[in-house]
Structure 1
Amino acid sequence: MVEPFGRMAIAHEWVSARAGSEKVFEELARVFTEADLYALTMTPGVELDTDARDIRTTILDRLGTLRDRRDLLLPVMPLAWRVMATNERYDTVITSSHACAKGFRPARAARHLCYVHAPMRYVWNPEIDNRGARKVAAPIRVALRRWDRNSVRWVDSFAANSSAVADRIQRFYGRQARIIHPPVDTSFFAAAPVESRDGLVTLGRLIPYKGHDIAIKIAARLNLRIKVVGRGPDEMRLRRLASDVGAKADFIVDANDEEVRAAVASSVALIFAAVEDFGIVPVEAQAAGTPVVGPGLGGLRDTVLEGQTGVFADDSSVDAVERALLRLLDSEFSDVRCREHAARFGIERFRSEVLEWVAATAGGA
């Protein structure tokens, strides 16, 4: 069988967990069942549903544990994509990009659609996510910005995962992007059994910029129990913080999907203190009927209805998020309204909008 858009390939950045951007890659693979799949690197043990198709990787995947030192490898990522060992030619290429995937060599000669999770944060918005930004020396950052701008000429059409990212594409690249929100398995979270709700929850990779420390401090201040759900290198620091501030924190690491759903559905509110480009976690929480508290910035502006499915803080400080949480706790929030709103971000909607995007580009729109 040949895809209706000719020979296709889908190229993603690194696959390090089955998390937000990886789930988009996985869903793109499900939509385009005959497409060849590529990624910069694959962390061992991470499993994606690709219908038994292999994911081909670049030379950087041969570096062992060094493959995960993206702060060090960032300057050579454009070269890795350029020299990737493939002589395949494609009619249509979709790149799933938050760094340098636009440099995937076969995309330069194909109809190239770029789904942007974020323009390279490390060089454009280090204040949002400083993982590795300190390691990228100023001259390298300038060079990467120049490469990133130049790489736009290989792209025929952009899609952004949120209005905030579409704004950045316009600002940094001078290009328009259609907004296609990522797929969220809202049906799975909506089916969560809810017996009672108690305490708070913070969910996501345990890394500094996700703001779990803010949630823990607020829980301690208000003497509320909090579930910290996720895994990552920041775990021990967060455990020490919880002990130091006297937070009643339950750490749930290596949770399966059902355990994540149960943790969210049994909580009064999700504290989401990160400034994300989109943020799948808040949609999952709302699908389980749980309202969201976080800064009214980035993707939350697209995914949360202020005063109906959550409350926005003025910024991401502990004080501001605590004030927003207190407003939520003093109000009545409908779990039905949360679920209704979350449903608009479902998987079928994503599939339909992606197909429309590719078809429009194939037709010259």
Structure 2
Amino acid sequence: FVHDFLDSYGGAERLLHSMHEIYPDAPIFTTRFDPSALPDSFPVQSVREVTWLRNRLVKLFSKQLTFLYLIAFESINLNEYDVVISSSANFAKGILTRPDQIHINYCHTPPRFLYKYEGESDKRMKWYYAPFVSLLDSYLRIWDYVAAQRPDYFIANSKNTAARIKTFYHRDSTVIYPPVNIENHTGSIDSLDAKDESLKDASKSSFFLVVSRLAMYKHVELAIGVCNRLCLPLTVVGVGPEQENLEKLAGETVTFEGFVSDKRLSELYRSAKALIYTVRDEDFGMTPIEAMSYGCPVIAHRSGGTLETVIEGKTGEFFDEYSVDGLLDVVENFNSNNYTYENLIKRANDFSRERFQDEIRTFVDNHTQQNDNNNA
């Protein structure tokens, strides 16, 4: 495996973790590695880091020295492996392999900062080095296109991402939705056990819920603005660089819980009236599925990956105008009684880890067999 960075544990890292469970003896190559940021269950002993990038200057100016990561990925020696799976939202797909090797890229998205999608890398464009970064990005887009021709096969995390791969790289891809860790608290719709019954019967409170990294591109201020105007209770879970600004915007009905335990998060999902998901044009989006797995309906913008996960009128609702006014109308008229526990759980189960691992295993086996037949 080759993965962009392993210095945090988000959706992409959870997906890598699930893939590694299929092939537990495989090494994981990466360009940034912080074992303290990963859970105890993560196979840190399998990680191989490109060590020359540990330079303090590189870490300090990583956003401006992006081109060094291109060199790093191209320098990884993968000659001893028959099949290489790269997992990338940035440049891991640019690894160099031999013609007789199989290179499969799991694409979370083409680099958002290169193609003008909102993301945390927008902060690279500070006015005092914007001219340099703009020039660098022009080169990076050329390299990114060339690198995208290197994988033999693309897997996309959503139809939304598959369309971007086609647009920017002119490559076809197979959609395999990411896994969401729902096994611990969902069960079969046909035979609800005791813990499922308690979840099913949990009474809904009047508060709305946001679960998000508090970054500018997440636009949590939309949910805060709506609940301020309607005087509705809102609980915000998450931390990030925008927390102080958002707290200043918040009225008396808005509560910030910061980072919470899994147990506390499950309590909030079970009792919230709905999750408000304010990201626009999300690549896929695991949080709405996580919410549904606890019987919590979702309010999301009509764009991106949520169009593939939230079923309007059945597991949640969409708002169209990306503004406080656009979201307000949906929140004001939202009735959680319109969404059944069974429908929410059934939808969440479509994105289970078992389903994901079966589809990945089948994809790799089929293309390995095909490659063997071609070389016979």
Match of 1:83 in 2: 75
Correspondent of 1:271 among 276, 286, 301: 276
Residues 314 and 28 of structure 1: CA distance in aligned 2, closer, same or farther (over 3 Å):
same
Correspondent of 2:261 among 249, 256, 259: 256
How far is the alpha carbon of 1:197 from its aligned partner?
2.5
How far is the alpha carbon of 1:315 from its aligned partner?
3.5
Correspondent of 2:230 among 209, 219, 222: 222
Match of 1:6 in 2: none
* Separation in structure 2 between the aligned mates of residue 230 and residue 310 of structure 1, nearest angstrom: 22
* Separation in structure 1 between the aligned mates of residue 300 and residue 78 of structure 2, nearest angstrom: 46
1:162-177 residue pairs with structure 2 within 5 A?
Answer: 162-177=158-173
Match of 1:148 in 2: 144
How far is the alpha carbon of 1:357 from its aligned partner?
1.2
Query: Is 1:123 matched with 2:114?
Result: yes
* Separation in structure 2 between the aligned mates of residue 313 and residue 287 of structure 1, nearest angstrom: 22
1:161-217 per-residue CA deviation (whole Å, 9 max, x = no partner) reads 001000111111111111111000123343584344330111121211112111111
Match of 1:316 in 2: 322
Correspondent of 2:46 among 54, 58, 69: 54
Q: Structure 1: which 5+ residue stretches go unaligned?
A: 1-9
* Separation in structure 2 between the aligned mates of residue 319 and residue 140 of structure 1, nearest angstrom: 38
Residues 346 and 105 of structure 1: CA distance in aligned 2, closer, same or farther (over 3 Å):
same
How far is the alpha carbon of 1:324 from its aligned partner?
2.1
Deviates more, 1:351-360 or 1:330-339: 330-339
Match of 2:21 in 1: 30
Q: Could you tell me which amino acid in structure 2 is paired with residue 345 of structure 1?
A: F
Q: Could you tell me which amino acid in structure 2 is paired with residue 273 of structure 1?
A: T
* Separation in structure 1 between the aligned mates of residue 32 and residue 144 of structure 2, nearest angstrom: 20
Q: Structure 2: which 5+ residue stretches go unaligned?
A: 187-195, 372-376
The TM-score with structure 2 as length reference comes to 0.86
Residues 100 and 315 of structure 1: CA distance in aligned 2, closer, same or farther (over 3 Å):
farther
How far is the alpha carbon of 1:312 from its aligned partner?
0.8
How far is the alpha carbon of 1:50 from its aligned partner?
3.4
Deviates more, 1:295-304 or 1:101-110: 101-110
> Does structure 2 retain, via aligned residues, the 8 Å contact 1:217–1:247?
no
Residues 80 and 229 of structure 1: CA distance in aligned 2, closer, same or farther (over 3 Å):
same
How far is the alpha carbon of 1:108 from its aligned partner?
7.5
Residues 196 and 323 of structure 1: CA distance in aligned 2, closer, same or farther (over 3 Å):
closer
Q: Could you tell me which amino acid in structure 1 is paired with residue 221 of structure 2?
A: D
Aligned residues: 352
How far is the alpha carbon of 1:345 from its aligned partner?
0.5
Query: Is 1:362 matched with 2:361?
Result: no
**Identical-pair percentage:** 28
Residues 323 and 156 of structure 1: CA distance in aligned 2, closer, same or farther (over 3 Å):
same
* Separation in structure 2 between the aligned mates of residue 139 and residue 108 of structure 1, nearest angstrom: 33
Query: Is 1:299 matched with 2:305?
Result: yes
Q: Could you tell me which amino acid in structure 2 is paired with residue 324 of structure 1?
A: V
Match of 2:95 in 1: 104
Q: Could you tell me which amino acid in structure 1 is paired with residue 163 of structure 2?
A: D
* Separation in structure 2 between the aligned mates of residue 291 and residue 125 of structure 1, nearest angstrom: 30
Q: Root-mean-square deviation (CA), in Å?
A: 2.3
1:219-260 per-residue CA deviation (whole Å, 9 max, x = no partner) reads 111211111111222222222221xxx142222223222222
Match of 2:220 in 1: 212
* Separation in structure 2 between the aligned mates of residue 357 and residue 208 of structure 1, nearest angstrom: 37
* Separation in structure 2 between the aligned mates of residue 67 and residue 11 of structure 1, nearest angstrom: 20
* Separation in structure 2 between the aligned mates of residue 76 and residue 57 of structure 1, nearest angstrom: 14
Residues 257 and 311 of structure 1: CA distance in aligned 2, closer, same or farther (over 3 Å):
same
Residues 44 and 186 of structure 1: CA distance in aligned 2, closer, same or farther (over 3 Å):
closer
* Separation in structure 2 between the aligned mates of residue 103 and residue 22 of structure 1, nearest angstrom: 18
1:104-133 per-residue CA deviation (whole Å, 9 max, x = no partner) reads 345777310000000111111334665345
* Separation in structure 2 between the aligned mates of residue 94 and residue 30 of structure 1, nearest angstrom: 13
* Separation in structure 2 between the aligned mates of residue 238 and residue 60 of structure 1, nearest angstrom: 38
Q: Could you tell me which amino acid in structure 1 is paired with residue 92 of structure 2?
A: A
The TM-score with structure 1 as length reference comes to 0.89
Q: Could you tell me which amino acid in structure 2 is paired with residue 248 of structure 1?
A: T
Q: What SS does the aligned partner of 1:25 have?
A: helix
How far is the alpha carbon of 1:75 from its aligned partner?
2.8
> Does structure 1 retain, via aligned residues, the 8 Å contact 2:79–2:98?
no
